Amino acid sequence: MKIKLKLKSVSYTGKSVGRDILIEIKVLDRTLPVDKRIKPGSTVEIDKEIGTFSVDQEIFEAIIELRVTEKDFIFSDSGKTSQTLRIEISKAFPQQFEYQVIVQERRAVFWKSTAIFKIFLEAEAEYIDPTVDNPKWTGNFRDDSPEMILARALFGEARSALNAAKTAVAWVIRNRVEHPRHRWGKTYHDVILQKEHFSAFNQSDPNRPFVENPFHTENEIDKKAWLSCYEVANLVIKGEDPDPTGGANHYYSDSRYGPPFWATKATFKVKIGPFYFHEL
């Protein structure tokens, strides 16, 4: 995912320090200067892009520096602030942010004027959407929709299984997403991309190429399996296929050498296809 950050508007309140205003905003390596005539007591629309940032985590944080200068031929008064910009990817977009910069006259001895500038920013999401027909990885799994990332997990973990088993694996992931204490994360991306939780996403795993590009073999069987995984992912996310696991949040395949340590009779729920499902 990419985040586009814009300067939307500026509000000028308090006492007048002048009208010729220079606004400078810096985030990471991006700087936006805006030279504008603004009347005291007014709000002006700016709508200029500060920069576009790639995001590969659930929260984007960066120090934002804002400076406002009233420009005079001889004297210039300025104020600045430095704060943390925090964008939560799981929340709806666009997201708005408000910052305040105070500018006080320095040349006056008495009755110094103090102006307050409120600066309004907006973050928009730019999805580089892989599609079911063109699922090649962009280099950032967070560019995927929830359906895409779930379909990748199913394709990597269960592409050769029947749809009943694919549905059950998908429900394990959904059950983790919906865990009341968010034990494994709040979103499909959080859960699936947890390090070493789903082996197909491990860099060294032989299934990793299938996760990155389901069509990389150019095999018709794989293409049909991918379409099946995507359909199952859609149905499970929409709740149109019921949970066949009875609330399981773990599974393992009978192809591995013996059950994992956490698989006990007390946690066992059901076996579907080659998979044993457990609720921990």
For 13-31, the DSSP string reads: EES---SEEEEEEEETTEE
Q: Is 201 left (phi over 0), alpha (psi -120 to 50) or beta?
A: alpha
Q: Taking Cα atoms as reference points, which of 179, 155, 176 lies closest to residue 165? A: 155
Sorted by where each begins, the domain ranges of the chain are 2-126, 141-278
Q: What is the pTM of this model?
A: 0.59
> 190-246: per-residue pLDDT in tens?
999 998 899 999 999 999 999 999 999 999 999 999 999 999 999 999 999 999 999
Class of domain 2-126 as given by CATH: mainly beta
Residue 118 has pLDDT above 70, yes or no: yes
pLDDT in tens, 24-79: 999 999 999 999 999 999 999 999 999 998 887 778 999 999 999 998 777 789 99
pLDDT of 110 > 80? The answer is no
Q: What is the pLDDT of residue 128?
A: 64
Give 107's pLDDT tier (boundaries 50, 70, 90): low
> Looking at residues 274-278, what average pLDDT do you find?
96
Cα(279)–Cα(53) distance, integer angstroms: 39
What's the average model confidence in pLDDT over 265-280?
A: 96
Average confidence (pLDDT) over 14-22: 93
Q: What is the pLDDT of residue 10?
A: 98
Looking at the predicted structure, is the pLDDT value of residue 148 above 90?
yes
